[in-house]
């Protein structure tokens, strides 16, 4: 009876640990890697907000809607850290798993790059990487995690840029 109880306890522990691992975002290693290093500022909001995203873009047929689970914000000041600003962004983008896709934006803004996790119109993560015009300026990563229905991803870029504005 004692060995049966121990086996049952081990199985329950393994199940609990595995569900905790799958609950994390695949991009968490970016934030875990940088958030406590010199030059970085990190914070997040995490609360399930149903229908928090309902953005109508210029055209009524272009929208982003859905449930927001978490927003993560990471800023980097190259004057206080060991990396250049562009070096930080390159390293962070390189840490994204191969399941993520770069979003093709309509404009020629080379200072903003958006990556997503999901299929066509159903997205679970957006990551907005914002480069400073100045090599010594702040660089940002703003991540949106949730359950989004997307007609146009351009709105995520606009929201990310507005979060990083001073």
Which two tokens mark 161? 């840029």
Alpha helices in 23-149 (DSSP H): 28-34, 85-94
The model's pLDDT over 47-70, given as tens digits with 9 standing for 90+, comes to 766 655 555 544 555 566 778 888
pTM of the model: 0.72
How far is the C-alpha of 141 from the C-alpha of 19, rounded, in Å? 27
Sequence ranges of the domains in the chain: 25-164
Residues 128-147, mean pLDDT to the nearest whole number: 90
The model's pLDDT over 76-132, given as tens digits with 9 standing for 90+, comes to 999 999 999 989 999 999 999 999 988 877 666 678 888 989 887 788 998 999 998
Query: Does residue 38 register a pLDDT over 50?
Result: yes
Query: Does residue 165 register a pLDDT over 60?
Result: no
Average pLDDT, the chain: 75
How far apart, in Å, are the Cα atoms of 133 and each of 51, 78, 105, 110?
34, 13, 19, 10
The pLDDT value recorded for residue 20 is: 39
Neighbours of 56 (CB within 10 A): 13
The pLDDT value recorded for residue 135 is: 81
pLDDT band at 39 (very low <50, low <70, confident <90, very high): very high
pLDDT band at 134 (very low <50, low <70, confident <90, very high): confident
Residues 6+ apart with CB under 8 A from 52: 66, 67, 68, 146
The pLDDT value recorded for residue 56 is: 52
């Amino acid at each position: 009876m004692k060995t049966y109880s121990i086996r049952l306890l081990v199985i329950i522990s393994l199940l609990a640990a595995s569900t905790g691992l799958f609950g994390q975002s695949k991009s968490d290693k970016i934030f875990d890697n940088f958030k406590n290093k010199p030059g970085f500022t990190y914070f997040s909001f995490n609360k399930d907000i149903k229908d928090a995203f309902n953005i109508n873009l210029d055209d009524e047929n272009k929208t982003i809607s859905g449930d927001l689970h978490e927003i993560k914000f990471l800023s980097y000041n190259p004057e206080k850290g060991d990396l250049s600003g562009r070096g930080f962004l390159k390293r962070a983008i390189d840490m994204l798993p191969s399941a993520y896709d770069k979003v093709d934006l309509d404009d020629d803004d080379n200072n903003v790059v958006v990556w997503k996790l999901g299929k066509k119109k159903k997205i679970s993560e957006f990551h907005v990487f914002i480069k400073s015009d100045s090599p010594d300026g702040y660089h940002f990563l703003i991540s949106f995690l949730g359950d989004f229905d997307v007609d146009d991803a351009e709105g995520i870029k606009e929201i990310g840029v507005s979060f990083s504005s001073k």
